[in-house]
Structure 1
Amino acid sequence: MAEALLRDETMTGREITSWVLPDLPDRITARELIRLRVRAEVARFNATRDEMFHGLVQPSGATETPQGFRMPGSARIDGEAQAYAACRAFDRNAFIMLAGGRQVEDLDDPIDLRNGGAVAFIRLIPLVGG
């Protein structure tokens, strides 16, 4: 079993946040890693019931703020729906993943987590009018 250091970064490579996702297989697809990451984020949020969700993609009904996604009332997030939305966002180039010194191009690309695999997630900002 392996673990992955997951890092959210800016386009310039500045770390926004990072955490370790433990108990992963040595090799995992990008799709599996995204789904596990998002389910862990949702589980943390649903357990704490904070009003701000700090996750990879915006949940349905949430408002984006500089501090994260503000959830209405005491809303819970559906982990499966959020994982599906994250995979769709990857396919639409809403964020990129970097692993092993390369950009992950496809959800079915394997990621090798041996040797302390670190995976960076970089949200892309759409251009105005484009």
Structure 2
Amino acid sequence: MEFVVHSYCLKGARQEPLLPPVTLTPTTLTLTVAELIRQTVAEQIAALSVQHWLEQAALREMLDRQYLSERDVLQQAHEGAVVMPQASAPPDLDVGTEVERALKGFETRAFRVLHNGVMLQRLDETIELSPPSTLAFIRLVPLLGG
């Protein structure tokens, strides 16, 4: 069964997406908050890595088509084939490190986790997922001046 986790940033009365929504397919429908955070962070990193690589690849292709010099074309033709440079690999993020940061962020209330509109309080708190469970990570940003 699949569940979507949305991440938002609340700035005063405005609600803005913080990270792209991710889909989780947990092996069990009973999770602790810590397990939910671990799975969500891993999926967010995977989604962002793919998105970054695709954006890099598209940008590299556009720039290369526009600015590949005649000298580069002639040199590559002399070597046998004219090819566009490949986009670089996505950034190498350590999932374990990012999960630990997220767990610490939850404990210090940098962000909150809601399950079906209920704010979860502890990492060892157990939640029961069932359709149509709604899951949200909410980053609270204090207003300027207090």
Name the TM-score class by shorter chain: 0.5 to 0.7
Aligned partners of 1:115, 1:45: CA distance in 2, in Å? 26
Aligned partners of 2:31, 2:102: CA distance in 1, in Å? 16
Amino acid at match of 2:4: L
Amino acid at match of 2:133: G
Of 27, 30, 36 in structure 2, the residue corresponding to residue 27 of structure 1 is 30
Query: Is the Cα–Cα contact under 8 Å of residues 5 and 19 in structure 1 kept in the other structure?
Result: yes
> What is the percentage of aligned positions where both structures have the same residue?
28
Computing the radius of gyration from Cα coordinates, the structure with the larger value is: 2
Is the deviation greater in 113-122 or in 40-49?
40-49
Of 36, 59, 83 in structure 1, the residue corresponding to residue 39 of structure 2 is 36
Aligned partners of 2:34, 2:14: CA distance in 1, in Å? 23
Deviation readout 1:16-47 (Å, 9 max, x if unpaired): 24332124411101100100111112223344
SS at structure 2 position matched to 1:9: strand
TM-score normalised by length of structure 2: 0.61
The structure with the greater share of residues assigned to helix is 2
In the alignment, structure 2 segments of 5+ residues that lack a partner are 56-88
Query: Is the Cα–Cα contact under 8 Å of residues 5 and 135 in structure 2 kept in the other structure?
Result: yes
Is the deviation greater in 31-40 or in 12-21?
12-21
Aligned partners of 1:75, 1:9: CA distance in 2, in Å? 23
Deviation readout 1:61-102 (Å, 9 max, x if unpaired): xxxxxxxxxxxx963100111011100010111101111331
Aligned partners of 2:90, 2:144: CA distance in 1, in Å? 33
Query: Is the Cα–Cα contact under 8 Å of residues 9 and 141 in structure 2 kept in the other structure?
Result: no
Of 68, 84, 87 in structure 1, the residue corresponding to residue 100 of structure 2 is 84
Amino acid at match of 1:44: A
Aligned partners of 2:27, 2:132: CA distance in 1, in Å? 11
Amino acid at match of 2:23: V
Q: Aligned-pair RMSD on alpha carbons?
A: 2.9
Number of residues of Structure 1 aligned to a counterpart in Structure 2 = 109
Is the deviation greater in 5-14 or in 115-124?
5-14
In the alignment, structure 1 segments of 5+ residues that lack a partner are 53-72
Instruction: Give 2:111's aligned residue.
Output: 95
Aligned partners of 2:31, 2:142: CA distance in 1, in Å? 29
Matched, 1:104 2:120: yes
